[in-house]
Amino acid sequence: MSYRIPMGPFHPGLEEPYKLEMICTGETVTDAKLHIGFNFRGIEHLAETRNYIQVIALMERVCGICSNIHTLTLCQAMERLTNLTPPPRAQYIRVIVAELERLHSHVLWAGIAAKLMGFKTMFMTCFEIREKVMDVLQAISGNRVNYAMNRIGGVNRDIEDPASILKMLEALEREMLRTIIPIFTTSTTARSRCAGVGVLTAAKAASVGVVGPMARASGLSQDLRRAAPYAAYEEMEFDVPVQTEGDVRARLLVRALEIMESCKILRQALGKLPPGEIFVPVEKYAFITGTATSRAEAPRGEVMYSVSWREGSRNPARVHVRTPTYANMPAVRWMVQGARLADTPLIQASIDPCYSCTDR
Amino acid sequence: MKLWKRLMCTCRRRSPWLFHMNSGSCNGCDIEFVAALTPRYDAEQLGVLLQGSPRHADILCVTGPVTRKAADAIKTVYAQAPGPKAVVAIGSCPATTNVFIESRTLEGPLGRHIPVDVFVPGCPPRPDAILQGVAKAAAILAERADHPPAAAPVIKPDAVEVQR
Ligand code: SF4
Protein backbone atom coordinates (compact mmCIF):
# COMPACT_ATOMS: atom_id res chain seq x y z
CA MET A 1 0.00 0.00 0.00
CA SER A 2 1.36 3.39 -0.83
CA TYR A 3 0.92 6.50 1.24
CA ARG A 4 1.87 10.17 1.06
CA ILE A 5 4.16 12.00 3.42
CA PRO A 6 4.08 15.79 3.19
CA MET A 7 7.14 17.67 4.42
CA GLY A 8 7.11 21.42 4.97
CA PRO A 9 6.64 24.24 4.19
CA PHE A 10 8.09 25.10 7.62
CA HIS A 11 10.08 22.09 8.64
CA PRO A 12 13.20 21.82 10.79
CA GLY A 13 15.04 19.92 8.06
CA LEU A 14 14.45 22.68 5.55
CA GLU A 15 16.30 25.96 5.50
CA GLU A 16 13.75 27.56 3.24
CA PRO A 17 10.00 27.18 2.88
CA TYR A 18 8.90 24.70 0.24
CA LYS A 19 6.82 21.60 0.32
CA LEU A 20 7.94 18.12 -0.59
CA GLU A 21 5.35 15.43 -0.95
CA MET A 22 6.63 11.90 -1.01
CA ILE A 23 4.72 8.85 -2.11
CA CYS A 24 6.07 5.82 -0.34
CA THR A 25 5.60 2.08 -0.30
CA GLY A 26 6.79 0.98 3.09
CA GLU A 27 10.17 2.58 3.61
CA THR A 28 10.84 3.10 -0.08
CA VAL A 29 10.03 6.30 -1.90
CA THR A 30 8.35 5.70 -5.24
CA ASP A 31 7.73 9.28 -6.31
CA ALA A 32 8.05 12.85 -5.09
CA LYS A 33 6.30 16.12 -5.78
CA LEU A 34 7.70 19.52 -5.08
CA HIS A 35 5.61 22.62 -4.38
CA ILE A 36 7.44 25.93 -4.55
CA GLY A 37 6.45 29.57 -4.60
CA PHE A 38 6.66 30.46 -0.91
CA ASN A 39 9.49 32.87 -1.68
CA PHE A 40 7.88 34.52 -4.68
CA ARG A 41 8.54 38.23 -4.26
CA GLY A 42 7.95 39.22 -7.87
CA ILE A 43 11.49 40.50 -8.32
CA GLU A 44 11.50 40.34 -12.11
CA HIS A 45 8.46 42.59 -12.22
CA LEU A 46 9.89 44.91 -9.57
CA ALA A 47 13.10 45.25 -11.58
CA GLU A 48 11.12 46.96 -14.33
CA THR A 49 10.15 49.71 -11.91
CA ARG A 50 13.69 50.39 -10.68
CA ASN A 51 16.37 52.47 -12.34
CA TYR A 52 19.79 51.23 -13.37
CA ILE A 53 21.32 51.86 -9.93
CA GLN A 54 18.44 50.51 -7.86
CA VAL A 55 18.15 47.39 -9.97
CA ILE A 56 21.63 46.28 -8.89
CA ALA A 57 20.69 46.54 -5.22
CA LEU A 58 17.44 44.72 -5.92
CA MET A 59 19.00 41.83 -7.83
CA GLU A 60 21.58 41.41 -5.11
CA ARG A 61 18.69 40.39 -2.88
CA VAL A 62 17.55 37.57 -5.14
CA CYS A 63 19.68 35.31 -3.02
CA GLY A 64 21.69 36.00 0.08
CA ILE A 65 24.13 33.13 -0.41
CA CYS A 66 25.20 33.87 -3.98
CA SER A 67 24.42 37.59 -3.97
CA ASN A 68 27.60 38.59 -5.76
CA ILE A 69 27.12 36.36 -8.78
CA HIS A 70 23.71 37.91 -9.44
CA THR A 71 25.03 41.46 -9.56
CA LEU A 72 28.07 40.31 -11.53
CA THR A 73 25.93 38.72 -14.22
CA LEU A 74 23.51 41.64 -14.29
CA CYS A 75 26.35 44.17 -14.56
CA GLN A 76 27.95 42.17 -17.36
CA ALA A 77 24.68 42.30 -19.27
CA MET A 78 24.28 46.02 -18.62
CA GLU A 79 27.87 46.62 -19.69
CA ARG A 80 27.00 45.06 -23.01
CA LEU A 81 24.10 47.49 -23.34
CA THR A 82 26.24 50.53 -22.50
CA ASN A 83 29.37 49.42 -24.36
CA LEU A 84 31.64 49.65 -21.34
CA THR A 85 34.50 47.30 -20.60
CA PRO A 86 35.64 47.08 -16.99
CA PRO A 87 39.37 47.71 -16.45
CA PRO A 88 41.59 44.65 -15.79
CA ARG A 89 41.88 45.34 -12.06
CA ALA A 90 38.11 45.30 -11.75
CA GLN A 91 37.96 41.99 -13.61
CA TYR A 92 40.42 40.48 -11.15
CA ILE A 93 38.53 41.80 -8.14
CA ARG A 94 35.37 40.30 -9.58
CA VAL A 95 37.07 36.91 -9.82
CA ILE A 96 38.34 37.19 -6.25
CA VAL A 97 34.94 38.00 -4.78
CA ALA A 98 33.23 35.36 -6.91
CA GLU A 99 35.66 32.68 -5.74
CA LEU A 100 35.37 33.71 -2.10
CA GLU A 101 31.64 33.44 -2.50
CA ARG A 102 32.01 29.96 -3.94
CA LEU A 103 34.19 29.02 -0.98
CA HIS A 104 31.71 30.20 1.63
CA SER A 105 28.79 28.68 -0.24
CA HIS A 106 30.44 25.26 -0.55
CA VAL A 107 31.51 25.25 3.09
CA LEU A 108 27.99 26.25 4.10
CA TRP A 109 26.63 23.41 2.01
CA ALA A 110 29.11 21.00 3.56
CA GLY A 111 27.87 22.07 6.99
CA ILE A 112 24.24 21.55 6.11
CA ALA A 113 24.96 18.19 4.48
CA ALA A 114 26.85 17.14 7.60
CA LYS A 115 23.90 18.14 9.75
CA LEU A 116 21.55 16.07 7.62
CA MET A 117 23.89 13.10 7.89
CA GLY A 118 23.57 13.45 11.64
CA PHE A 119 27.14 14.68 11.94
CA LYS A 120 26.47 17.70 14.14
CA THR A 121 30.09 18.26 15.15
CA MET A 122 31.09 18.63 11.54
CA PHE A 123 28.27 21.12 11.03
CA MET A 124 29.68 23.33 13.75
CA THR A 125 33.23 22.93 12.44
CA CYS A 126 32.17 23.90 8.92
CA PHE A 127 30.45 27.00 10.18
CA GLU A 128 33.45 27.97 12.21
CA ILE A 129 35.65 27.72 9.13
CA ARG A 130 33.06 29.58 7.10
CA GLU A 131 33.40 32.47 9.53
CA LYS A 132 37.02 32.77 8.43
CA VAL A 133 35.93 33.13 4.81
CA MET A 134 33.41 35.72 5.96
CA ASP A 135 36.25 37.60 7.65
CA VAL A 136 38.08 37.83 4.33
CA LEU A 137 34.93 38.98 2.55
CA GLN A 138 34.29 41.51 5.26
CA ALA A 139 37.85 42.79 4.98
CA ILE A 140 37.35 43.30 1.23
CA SER A 141 33.80 44.59 1.01
CA GLY A 142 32.85 45.67 4.51
CA ASN A 143 29.80 43.41 4.48
CA ARG A 144 29.17 39.83 5.41
CA VAL A 145 26.36 38.97 3.06
CA ASN A 146 25.31 41.51 0.44
CA TYR A 147 28.69 42.79 -0.66
CA ALA A 148 27.58 45.51 -3.10
CA MET A 149 30.82 45.08 -5.02
CA ASN A 150 29.70 45.34 -8.64
CA ARG A 151 28.68 48.39 -10.60
CA ILE A 152 28.24 49.06 -14.29
CA GLY A 153 31.75 49.16 -15.71
CA GLY A 154 33.70 47.93 -12.72
CA VAL A 155 33.62 47.36 -8.99
CA ASN A 156 32.88 49.65 -6.06
CA ARG A 157 35.75 48.82 -3.74
CA ASP A 158 39.41 48.24 -4.27
CA ILE A 159 41.53 45.56 -2.64
CA GLU A 160 44.22 47.76 -1.20
CA ASP A 161 46.36 45.21 0.52
CA PRO A 162 46.31 41.87 -1.34
CA ALA A 163 49.21 40.56 0.74
CA SER A 164 47.23 40.57 3.98
CA ILE A 165 44.28 38.89 2.26
CA LEU A 166 46.70 36.30 0.90
CA LYS A 167 47.83 35.56 4.42
CA MET A 168 44.25 35.07 5.60
CA LEU A 169 43.71 32.82 2.62
CA GLU A 170 46.66 30.61 3.45
CA ALA A 171 45.39 30.10 6.99
CA LEU A 172 42.02 29.23 5.54
CA GLU A 173 43.44 26.72 3.11
CA ARG A 174 45.41 24.99 5.86
CA GLU A 175 42.26 24.71 7.92
CA MET A 176 40.34 23.23 5.00
CA LEU A 177 43.08 20.73 4.25
CA ARG A 178 43.29 19.74 7.90
CA THR A 179 39.59 19.21 8.66
CA ILE A 180 36.92 19.49 6.02
CA ILE A 181 38.56 17.77 3.05
CA PRO A 182 39.92 14.66 4.86
CA ILE A 183 36.71 14.13 6.81
CA PHE A 184 34.50 14.33 3.78
CA THR A 185 36.76 12.28 1.54
CA THR A 186 37.90 9.54 3.91
CA SER A 187 35.62 9.32 6.94
CA THR A 188 33.56 6.15 7.10
CA THR A 189 30.54 8.03 8.50
CA ALA A 190 30.35 10.23 5.46
CA ARG A 191 31.00 7.33 3.12
CA SER A 192 28.43 4.96 4.57
CA ARG A 193 25.78 7.67 4.55
CA CYS A 194 26.44 8.97 1.04
CA ALA A 195 27.87 6.27 -1.23
CA GLY A 196 25.36 4.87 -3.68
CA VAL A 197 22.58 7.16 -2.44
CA GLY A 198 20.56 9.29 -4.83
CA VAL A 199 22.25 8.20 -8.02
CA LEU A 200 21.80 10.32 -11.13
CA THR A 201 23.34 8.66 -14.18
CA ALA A 202 25.17 10.69 -16.79
CA ALA A 203 22.47 9.97 -19.38
CA LYS A 204 19.70 11.10 -17.04
CA ALA A 205 21.72 14.15 -15.97
CA ALA A 206 22.10 15.19 -19.59
CA SER A 207 18.45 14.64 -20.38
CA VAL A 208 17.10 16.68 -17.43
CA GLY A 209 19.76 19.31 -18.09
CA VAL A 210 21.38 19.68 -14.68
CA VAL A 211 24.13 22.27 -14.26
CA GLY A 212 27.08 23.01 -12.03
CA PRO A 213 28.45 20.57 -9.43
CA MET A 214 25.44 18.31 -10.00
CA ALA A 215 26.44 17.78 -13.62
CA ARG A 216 30.11 17.45 -12.76
CA ALA A 217 29.32 14.76 -10.20
CA SER A 218 27.48 12.79 -12.87
CA GLY A 219 30.42 12.79 -15.24
CA LEU A 220 29.47 15.76 -17.40
CA SER A 221 32.41 18.10 -17.53
CA GLN A 222 30.87 21.53 -17.86
CA ASP A 223 32.04 24.74 -16.31
CA LEU A 224 31.39 28.19 -17.70
CA ARG A 225 34.61 29.48 -16.21
CA ARG A 226 36.33 27.15 -18.65
CA ALA A 227 33.83 26.95 -21.52
CA ALA A 228 32.91 30.63 -21.81
CA PRO A 229 35.34 32.59 -19.61
CA TYR A 230 34.07 35.87 -18.22
CA ALA A 231 35.81 38.48 -16.01
CA ALA A 232 39.45 37.37 -15.72
CA TYR A 233 38.97 33.61 -15.73
CA GLU A 234 40.78 33.27 -19.02
CA GLU A 235 44.05 34.09 -17.29
CA MET A 236 43.57 31.66 -14.41
CA GLU A 237 44.80 28.12 -14.30
CA PHE A 238 42.58 25.58 -12.61
CA ASP A 239 41.11 22.13 -13.03
CA VAL A 240 37.47 21.23 -13.27
CA PRO A 241 36.93 18.30 -10.92
CA VAL A 242 34.66 15.63 -12.38
CA GLN A 243 33.36 12.45 -10.74
CA THR A 244 31.47 9.74 -12.54
CA GLU A 245 29.47 7.95 -9.83
CA GLY A 246 26.61 10.47 -9.70
CA ASP A 247 25.71 9.72 -6.08
CA VAL A 248 25.69 12.04 -3.07
CA ARG A 249 29.28 11.14 -2.27
CA ALA A 250 30.38 12.20 -5.75
CA ARG A 251 28.71 15.57 -5.21
CA LEU A 252 30.45 15.88 -1.89
CA LEU A 253 33.81 15.12 -3.51
CA VAL A 254 33.25 17.51 -6.40
CA ARG A 255 32.47 20.34 -4.00
CA ALA A 256 35.38 19.49 -1.72
CA LEU A 257 37.77 19.51 -4.69
CA GLU A 258 36.24 22.74 -5.93
CA ILE A 259 37.08 24.35 -2.62
CA MET A 260 40.74 23.57 -3.31
CA GLU A 261 40.50 24.84 -6.88
CA SER A 262 38.93 28.07 -5.62
CA CYS A 263 41.86 28.57 -3.25
CA LYS A 264 44.19 28.03 -6.20
CA ILE A 265 42.38 30.62 -8.33
CA LEU A 266 42.32 33.07 -5.43
CA ARG A 267 46.03 32.76 -4.89
CA GLN A 268 46.74 33.44 -8.57
CA ALA A 269 44.32 36.36 -8.77
CA LEU A 270 45.63 38.01 -5.62
CA GLY A 271 49.22 37.48 -6.75
CA LYS A 272 48.73 38.89 -10.23
CA LEU A 273 46.32 41.74 -9.35
CA PRO A 274 47.09 44.33 -12.05
CA PRO A 275 47.34 48.03 -11.13
CA GLY A 276 44.98 50.68 -12.42
CA GLU A 277 41.44 51.94 -12.19
CA ILE A 278 38.69 49.87 -10.66
CA PHE A 279 35.82 51.27 -12.73
CA VAL A 280 35.22 53.27 -15.88
CA PRO A 281 34.33 56.82 -14.86
CA VAL A 282 31.18 57.76 -16.75
CA GLU A 283 29.07 60.90 -16.48
CA LYS A 284 25.91 59.34 -17.82
CA TYR A 285 25.22 55.77 -18.82
CA ALA A 286 23.98 55.65 -22.41
CA PHE A 287 21.94 52.50 -22.84
CA ILE A 288 21.14 51.28 -26.33
CA THR A 289 17.89 49.61 -27.32
CA GLY A 290 18.20 45.87 -27.28
CA THR A 291 18.56 42.71 -25.26
CA ALA A 292 21.79 41.47 -23.77
CA THR A 293 22.37 38.12 -22.13
CA SER A 294 25.13 37.16 -19.82
CA ARG A 295 26.09 33.91 -18.12
CA ALA A 296 28.23 33.11 -15.14
CA GLU A 297 29.14 30.05 -13.09
CA ALA A 298 27.52 30.47 -9.69
CA PRO A 299 28.44 28.09 -6.84
CA ARG A 300 25.38 26.01 -7.80
CA GLY A 301 25.77 26.15 -11.57
CA GLU A 302 25.01 28.40 -14.45
CA VAL A 303 23.15 31.69 -13.92
CA MET A 304 21.78 33.50 -16.92
CA TYR A 305 20.49 37.05 -17.12
CA SER A 306 18.70 38.49 -20.07
CA VAL A 307 18.25 42.25 -19.83
CA SER A 308 16.24 44.34 -22.28
CA TRP A 309 16.47 48.09 -22.46
CA ARG A 310 14.89 50.91 -24.41
CA GLU A 311 17.10 53.82 -25.35
CA GLY A 312 16.64 56.87 -23.15
CA SER A 313 14.92 54.91 -20.41
CA ARG A 314 16.20 54.78 -16.86
CA ASN A 315 14.53 51.47 -16.09
CA PRO A 316 15.12 48.12 -17.75
CA ALA A 317 12.30 46.96 -20.00
CA ARG A 318 12.69 43.37 -18.82
CA VAL A 319 15.08 41.45 -16.61
CA HIS A 320 14.89 37.71 -16.89
CA VAL A 321 16.82 35.43 -14.58
CA ARG A 322 17.47 31.74 -14.89
CA THR A 323 18.97 30.27 -11.79
CA PRO A 324 20.82 26.97 -11.36
CA THR A 325 18.41 25.46 -8.84
CA TYR A 326 15.62 25.87 -11.35
CA ALA A 327 17.55 23.59 -13.70
CA ASN A 328 18.60 21.13 -11.01
CA MET A 329 15.31 20.72 -9.21
CA PRO A 330 13.58 18.29 -11.60
CA ALA A 331 16.43 15.83 -11.07
CA VAL A 332 15.34 15.28 -7.45
CA ARG A 333 12.43 13.22 -8.67
CA TRP A 334 14.69 10.65 -10.32
CA MET A 335 17.16 10.72 -7.48
CA VAL A 336 14.65 9.86 -4.75
CA GLN A 337 12.90 7.10 -6.64
CA GLY A 338 13.80 3.87 -4.90
CA ALA A 339 15.62 5.61 -2.07
CA ARG A 340 14.85 5.06 1.58
CA LEU A 341 12.67 7.67 3.24
CA ALA A 342 15.38 8.60 5.74
CA ASP A 343 17.77 9.46 2.90
CA THR A 344 15.48 11.90 1.12
CA PRO A 345 16.44 15.05 3.08
CA LEU A 346 20.08 14.40 2.27
CA ILE A 347 19.33 13.66 -1.39
CA GLN A 348 17.36 16.81 -1.91
CA ALA A 349 19.99 18.82 -0.04
CA SER A 350 22.72 17.36 -2.26
CA ILE A 351 21.60 19.54 -5.15
CA ASP A 352 22.34 22.50 -2.85
CA PRO A 353 18.90 23.96 -3.48
CA CYS A 354 18.26 27.66 -3.24
CA TYR A 355 14.55 28.34 -3.40
CA SER A 356 14.78 32.07 -2.98
CA CYS A 357 16.71 32.07 -6.28
CA THR A 358 14.19 29.79 -7.90
CA ASP A 359 11.06 31.62 -6.81
CA ARG A 360 12.57 35.10 -6.90
CA MET B 1 3.84 31.97 45.32
CA LYS B 2 5.68 35.16 44.58
CA LEU B 3 8.98 33.35 44.83
CA TRP B 4 7.72 30.70 42.42
CA LYS B 5 6.76 33.38 39.91
CA ARG B 6 10.14 35.04 40.19
CA LEU B 7 11.83 31.73 39.62
CA MET B 8 9.73 31.11 36.51
CA CYS B 9 10.63 34.54 35.14
CA THR B 10 14.32 33.86 35.57
CA CYS B 11 13.99 30.46 33.95
CA ARG B 12 12.26 31.91 30.94
CA ARG B 13 14.80 34.65 30.56
CA ARG B 14 17.71 32.26 30.84
CA SER B 15 16.55 29.56 28.45
CA PRO B 16 14.43 30.82 25.58
CA TRP B 17 13.75 28.29 22.85
CA LEU B 18 13.64 29.59 19.31
CA PHE B 19 11.71 28.69 16.24
CA HIS B 20 12.97 30.05 12.96
CA MET B 21 10.54 30.96 10.23
CA ASN B 22 11.42 32.12 6.74
CA SER B 23 8.58 34.11 5.22
CA GLY B 24 10.15 34.50 1.80
CA SER B 25 13.48 36.07 2.67
CA CYS B 26 16.49 36.20 0.41
CA ASN B 27 18.39 33.74 2.65
CA GLY B 28 20.78 36.46 3.77
CA CYS B 29 19.13 36.82 7.15
CA ASP B 30 18.73 33.08 7.51
CA ILE B 31 22.40 32.30 7.13
CA GLU B 32 23.24 35.07 9.57
CA PHE B 33 20.75 33.59 11.99
CA VAL B 34 22.37 30.18 11.63
CA ALA B 35 25.78 31.80 12.01
CA ALA B 36 24.59 33.31 15.29
CA LEU B 37 23.93 29.80 16.60
CA THR B 38 27.35 28.42 15.67
CA PRO B 39 30.60 28.56 17.65
CA ARG B 40 31.90 32.03 16.76
CA TYR B 41 28.83 33.82 18.13
CA ASP B 42 27.50 30.93 20.20
CA ALA B 43 23.89 31.69 21.01
CA GLU B 44 23.83 28.80 23.45
CA GLN B 45 25.63 30.93 25.99
CA LEU B 46 22.26 32.70 26.39
CA GLY B 47 20.56 29.37 26.96
CA VAL B 48 19.11 29.56 23.48
CA LEU B 49 18.13 26.35 21.76
CA LEU B 50 16.76 26.03 18.24
CA GLN B 51 13.59 23.98 18.15
CA GLY B 52 12.02 22.15 15.25
CA SER B 53 8.42 22.79 16.19
CA PRO B 54 6.60 26.01 17.08
CA ARG B 55 4.83 24.13 19.86
CA HIS B 56 8.09 23.92 21.78
CA ALA B 57 9.16 27.50 21.19
CA ASP B 58 9.08 30.66 23.28
CA ILE B 59 10.50 33.07 20.74
CA LEU B 60 9.62 33.10 17.05
CA CYS B 61 12.33 34.52 14.82
CA VAL B 62 10.86 35.66 11.53
CA THR B 63 12.86 36.67 8.47
CA GLY B 64 11.61 37.86 5.12
CA PRO B 65 9.05 40.30 3.76
CA VAL B 66 6.01 37.97 4.13
CA THR B 67 4.96 36.69 0.74
CA ARG B 68 1.33 36.05 -0.04
CA LYS B 69 1.77 32.30 0.20
CA ALA B 70 3.56 32.49 3.54
CA ALA B 71 1.18 34.97 5.22
CA ASP B 72 -1.38 32.39 6.34
CA ALA B 73 1.29 29.95 7.40
CA ILE B 74 2.79 32.62 9.65
CA LYS B 75 -0.47 33.25 11.43
CA THR B 76 -0.95 29.50 11.91
CA VAL B 77 2.54 29.06 13.31
CA TYR B 78 2.07 32.05 15.62
CA ALA B 79 -1.16 30.54 16.92
CA GLN B 80 0.57 27.19 17.48
CA ALA B 81 3.25 28.59 19.76
CA PRO B 82 2.16 28.38 23.39
CA GLY B 83 1.98 31.59 25.45
CA PRO B 84 3.76 33.54 26.72
CA LYS B 85 5.63 34.10 23.48
CA ALA B 86 7.67 36.81 21.85
CA VAL B 87 8.41 37.61 18.22
CA VAL B 88 11.73 38.84 16.85
CA ALA B 89 11.70 40.27 13.32
CA ILE B 90 15.15 39.74 11.84
CA GLY B 91 16.24 42.10 9.10
CA SER B 92 14.77 45.10 7.38
CA CYS B 93 12.44 42.91 5.34
CA PRO B 94 9.86 42.06 8.02
CA ALA B 95 10.00 45.64 9.31
CA THR B 96 9.41 47.53 6.09
CA THR B 97 9.60 44.99 3.22
CA ASN B 98 12.91 46.63 2.34
CA VAL B 99 13.90 46.67 -1.35
CA PHE B 100 10.84 44.65 -2.26
CA ILE B 101 8.50 47.48 -1.31
CA GLU B 102 5.47 47.83 -3.58
CA SER B 103 5.71 44.27 -4.81
CA ARG B 104 2.27 42.90 -5.56
CA THR B 105 3.04 39.45 -4.31
CA LEU B 106 3.93 40.61 -0.80
CA GLU B 107 1.59 40.98 2.13
CA GLY B 108 4.13 42.55 4.42
CA PRO B 109 5.33 44.03 6.60
CA LEU B 110 5.13 41.42 9.32
CA GLY B 111 3.44 43.79 11.79
CA ARG B 112 0.23 43.50 9.80
CA HIS B 113 -0.08 39.84 10.61
CA ILE B 114 1.32 39.18 14.06
CA PRO B 115 2.47 41.46 16.89
CA VAL B 116 6.23 41.97 16.81
CA ASP B 117 8.23 42.66 19.97
CA VAL B 118 11.75 43.29 18.75
CA PHE B 119 12.94 44.51 15.37
CA VAL B 120 16.53 43.83 14.42
CA PRO B 121 17.25 46.17 11.52
CA GLY B 122 19.89 45.58 8.90
CA CYS B 123 20.12 43.91 5.55
CA PRO B 124 21.13 41.50 6.90
CA PRO B 125 21.86 42.34 10.55
CA ARG B 126 25.13 41.00 11.94
CA PRO B 127 24.90 37.89 14.08
CA ASP B 128 25.79 39.89 17.20
CA ALA B 129 22.83 42.18 16.56
CA ILE B 130 20.58 39.16 16.15
CA LEU B 131 21.82 37.82 19.49
CA GLN B 132 21.11 41.15 21.13
CA GLY B 133 17.59 41.09 19.72
CA VAL B 134 17.03 37.59 21.05
CA ALA B 135 18.34 38.61 24.48
CA LYS B 136 15.94 41.56 24.51
CA ALA B 137 13.06 39.32 23.53
CA ALA B 138 14.00 36.97 26.36
CA ALA B 139 13.73 39.83 28.85
CA ILE B 140 10.32 40.78 27.44
CA LEU B 141 9.27 37.17 27.64
CA ALA B 142 10.24 36.98 31.30
CA GLU B 143 8.08 39.97 32.14
CA ARG B 144 5.23 38.71 30.09
CA ALA B 145 5.26 35.44 31.98
CA ASP B 146 3.86 37.41 34.90
CA HIS B 147 0.70 38.30 33.01
CA PRO B 148 0.19 35.59 30.42
CA PRO B 149 -3.16 36.63 28.90
CA ALA B 150 -2.49 40.28 28.11
CA ALA B 151 0.58 39.79 26.00
CA ALA B 152 0.58 43.28 24.56
CA PRO B 153 3.19 43.95 21.91
CA VAL B 154 5.87 46.41 22.90
CA ILE B 155 5.77 48.01 19.48
CA LYS B 156 2.23 48.27 18.13
CA PRO B 157 1.83 46.80 14.66
CA ASP B 158 0.38 50.02 13.19
CA ALA B 159 3.45 51.90 14.39
CA VAL B 160 5.43 50.20 11.65
CA GLU B 161 2.91 50.73 8.86
CA VAL B 162 4.96 51.88 5.90
CA GLN B 163 4.23 55.27 4.43
CA ARG B 164 3.63 54.81 0.73
S1 SF4 C 1 16.69 42.08 5.23
FE2 SF4 C 1 18.08 41.95 3.48
S3 SF4 C 1 19.28 40.10 3.86
FE4 SF4 C 1 17.47 39.97 5.16
S5 SF4 C 1 15.99 38.80 3.98
FE6 SF4 C 1 15.62 40.98 3.57
S7 SF4 C 1 16.79 41.41 1.72
FE8 SF4 C 1 17.57 39.50 2.55
pLDDT tens string B106-136: 887 888 888 888 888 888 888 888 888 888 8
Contacts of B75 (CB under 8 A, 6+ apart): B113, B114
Whether B90 maps to a domain, the answer reads yes
Mean pLDDT of the B80-94 span: 85
For B123, the 3-state DSSP assignment is: coil
* Ligand 1 site-directed mutation target among A61, A66, A354, A359, most atoms within 8 Å of CB: A61
Q: Do B38 and A17 touch (CB under 8 A)?
A: no
Contacts of A87 (CB under 8 A, 6+ apart): A154, A276, A277, A278, A279, A280
Amino acid A295: pLDDT? 87
Q: Which residue of A has its CA nearest to B99?
A: A58
Q: Do B124 and A38 touch (CB under 8 A)?
A: no
- Nearest-CA residue for ligand 1 atom 6 is B93
CATH of the domain at A65: 1.10.645.10
What are the helix (H) ranges across A16-175?
43-47, 54-60, 67-82, 88-117, 120-141, 162-175
Question: Is the pTM of the predicted complex or chain greater than 0.95?
Answer: no
CATH of the domain at B134: 3.40.50.12280
DSSP B161: P
A141 in B contact zone (CB under 8 Å): no
Whether B4 maps to a domain, the answer reads no
Enclosing domain of residue B102 = 9-147
CA A53, CA A166: separation in Å to the nearest integer? 32
**Is B31 touching ligand 1 by the criterion CB < 6 Å?**
no
Whether B2 maps to a domain, the answer reads no
pLDDT band at B1 (very low <50, low <70, confident <90, very high): low
CB A141 within 8 A of CB A98: no
How many other β-carbons are positioned within 10 Å of the β-carbon of residue A135? 15
CB A67 within 8 A of CB A60: yes
Enclosing domain of residue A29 = 2-358
Amino acid A275: pLDDT? 83
State the nearest Cα–Cα gap between B1 and chain A, in angstroms. 37
Question: Which pLDDT tens digit goes with each residue over B29-44?
Answer: 888 888 888 888 888 8
Amino acid B162: pLDDT? 46
Nearest to B123 by CA among A143, A141, A284, A263: A143
Size of interface A-B (CB pairs under 8 A): 118
Instruction: Considering only the C-alpha atoms of chain B, give the largest distance between any 2 of them, rounded to a whole number of Å.
Output: 52
Query: Closest ligand 1 atom, CA of B26?
Result: 8
A120 in B contact zone (CB under 8 Å): no
**Is B25 touching ligand 1 by the criterion CB < 6 Å?**
yes
Amino acid B145: pLDDT? 62
Amino acid, single-letter form, for residue A158: D
Whether B42 maps to a domain, the answer reads yes
Count CA within 13 A, CB hemisphere, residue A188: 0
Whether B60 maps to a domain, the answer reads yes
Amino acid B157: pLDDT? 47
Contact list, A9 vs chain B (CB under 8 Å): 70, 73
Contact list, B23 vs chain A (CB under 8 Å): 17
* Segments of chain A with pLDDT less than 70: 1, 8-16
Q: For residue A44, how far is its CA from the centre of ligand 1 (angstroms)?
A: 17
Q: For residue A295, how far is its CA from the centre of ligand 1 (angstroms)?
A: 24
Report helix angle B28-37 to B127-144, nearest 10.
70
Mutate to test the interface with A, among B30, B31, B42, B126 (most CBs of A within 10 A): B31
Q: Is the pLDDT of residue B148 over 60?
A: no
Whether B32 maps to a domain, the answer reads yes
How many domains are contained in chain B?
1
Mean pLDDT of the B60-73 span: 85
Q: For residue B65, how far is its CA from the centre of ligand 1 (angstroms)?
A: 8
Please, which contacts does A183-192 make with residues 24 or more away whose CB atoms are closer than 8 Å?
Answer: A183/A122, A184/A110, A184/A252, A184/A253, A184/A256, A185/A253, A185/A256, A189/A117, A189/A119, A190/A114, A190/A117, A190/A119, A190/A249, A190/A252, A191/A249
Amino acid A1: pLDDT? 63
Nearest to A144 among B38, B99, B126 (CB): B126
Instruction: Considering only the C-alpha atoms of chain A, give the largest distance between any 2 of them, rounded to a whole number of Å.
Output: 69
Across-strand partners of A35? A19
In this predicted complex, what is the ipTM? 0.82
How many domains are contained in chain A?
1
Buried b (16+ CB within 10 A) or exposed e, A205-235: beebebbbbbbbbbbbebbbbeeeebbbbee
Contact list, B24 vs chain A (CB under 8 Å): 17, 38-41, 356, 359
Alpha-carbon distances, residue B105 vs A42, A67, A308, B69, B97 (angstroms): 6, 21, 23, 9, 11
Q: For residue A240, how far is its CA from the centre of ligand 1 (angstroms)?
A: 33
Question: Which pLDDT tens digit goes with each residue over A268-291?
Answer: 888 888 888 888 888 788 788 888
Instruction: Give the per-residue SS3 of A202-213.
Output: HHHHHHHCCCHH
Whether B67 maps to a domain, the answer reads yes
Amino acid A10: pLDDT? 67
